[in-house]
Chain A
Amino acid sequence: MLLKIKNITLSFAKGKDSFKILNGLNLDVPKGKITALIGGNGAGKTTLFNIISGFQKDFSGEISYCHCGLDPQPPLRLENLRADKISRLGIGRLFQSKGLLPHLTLLDNMKLCSNDTSGEFPFAYLFRNKKLLAIENEKEMKAKNILTQLFGENNKYLGMLNAMGCDFSYGEQRLLSLAGLFMGNYDLLLLDEPTAGVNPVYIENIKDIIRKMVAAGKTVLLIEHNMLFVKDLADIVAYMDDGQIKFTGTPNEIINNQEVKNSYLGIE
């Protein structure tokens, strides 16, 4: 298992009342697979992503991450790590309803997703030494390669590298944000509703990109409401309700589960 989530509980207090958002949640995410997390609005899916990626603290439970490189290493506990540290361990994230950074060019958006932070110290770039320029050139080449691999030779984005993030449509921004995740050395990718608000053609593109992520050795944990998309793509589906994982299985097993049909899919 790449990620083991054990007995996660999170409550929000409002006045004298306390609301349990997650209630002893357990989930295993196997390496190299696509695991889809489904469940109604407010079930706590995004909160779980926030917990894994370090944006939500004050919860109880354990999260073990096995960032197995070439050398086998003991699993790391993520509960007390900052979000930036968790990202550097190899956990990338696509946020719900967020696109590219609007005031940066497409190329800068892509370069920023790289794990290599060389030249980011103030004035390090002042003398434009050969090493830093080479690193910047490498990042540019990598960005172009990724865009070519994902969208084909001579795709329009290669000619728009200097366009600002806000110049792209929302659907394009989602596609390009996913492309940016290839820039970092991520092992686990948390994708929060990648198809929300995206047209059917782009949904197919997103499906291809996610398949290419897995082909590149990455593991994907996905939140999605589009059940056709989940059925086509996911290896494992976890159904979440009342702050817990109620059922786990193959897409067909979950879609045919009577309780999931009644309480989530709205089918008798």
Chain B
Amino acid sequence: MEYILHIVIMLNIYILLVLSANLPVGLANLLSICQAAFYGIGAYFSAYFLLQWNLPFVVVALIVMCLTGLCSLVVSFASVKLKGDYFVLATLAFQMIVFTILYNWTEVTRGPYGISGIPSVKLFGIISLSGIYGYFALTTVLSLIVILLFGNLKKSPFGRVLTAIRSDELTVLSIGRNPARFKNYAFFISAAFSGLAGLLYASYISYIDPTSFTLDESIFILTALFIGGIGNIKGPVFGALVVVVLPEILRFVGLPDAMAANLRQIIYGLILVLLMYFKPQGLMGELKIKN
């Protein structure tokens, strides 16, 4: 039972991450490959506030989301006006910089040793949320709230402008909207919710180190997004389900451990190639992936 609950908790965390990635990638047409950097920034800020201040969950969540969002402005202000590959390179650079800082600034992050003993979050400042059942409830409620929030965002006038930006930036400019401003908003929100996922991860696992927030992790989040599909809510949720549950199913196939990890990569690659050919909008997505 605890094994299944653990999978659901990780699924809920990945739903947050993949939905966050969908906002810039799926709606605003910003192929960002630094989602894991925001996830990591959120996790490390959370570790600091939980270890040093032991603040209530809501307070830590708000602080972490704001700080991670502010960090996103470093990359978004400089790069949202870049197009296509140049934007991807800018986010790649940010991802590498964040990883290098997390890995080498040992006085603060403890570098490769990571930070251990991160306490569980305290709901309302009193009830310490320990144990897998508590995290199952918390992450499930939060992922449902985030699904509703992002659903509302997509249907809102803000979502309308983002969808328009994805289709044609020049037209958006010609009707008096500044696409760069909307892209900054999208990036900020995306980073803030990735930071929230970082908080949940850090407090649930109680140990973090930089290897959880590498470029591979960013690509993994994007893979989930592209498998599920971009532009709507059910696509990213389904994508998260596939990438979290698939490896667990493979465990029961009885493959040798040394082979299982490689096979997983091959399966993801194969799924992506097949999707590009036969279903470019992903399994449940609304929009086709643009070149």
Residues of A within 8 A of B (CB): 53-55, 82-85, 87-88, 92-93, 95, 98, 101-104, 108, 111-113, 115, 117-126, 136, 184
Contact = CB atoms under 8 A, between A and B. Distances in A.
Interface of chain A: mostly helix, strand, loop or mixed = loop
A92 B174 contact: yes
Interface string B80-119: 0000000000000000000000000000000000000000
A125 B158 contact: yes
B176 A115 contact: yes
B164 interface: yes
A124 B155 CA distance: 12
A55 B164 CA distance: 18
A104 B158 contact: no
Contacts of A120: 157-158, 160-161, 177, 182
Given A87-B173, A117-B177, A125 B156 contact: yes
B171 interface: yes
Contacts of B182: 120
Interface in B45-65: none
Given A104-B160, A121-B158, A122-B158, A95 B174 contact: yes
Contacts, number: 94
Interface residues of B, number: 29
Contact of B158 (A84, A87, A111, A119): A119
Contact of A103 (B156, B173, B178, B287): B287
A83 B173 contact: yes
14 contacts: A54-B173, A55-B173, A87-B176, A102-B167, A111-B160, A113-B175, A118-B157, A119-B156, A120-B161, A121-B158, A122-B156, A122-B186, A123-B152, A184-B175
Nearest to B167: A101
B253 interface: no
Contacts of B155: 125
B167 A103 contact: yes
B137 interface: no
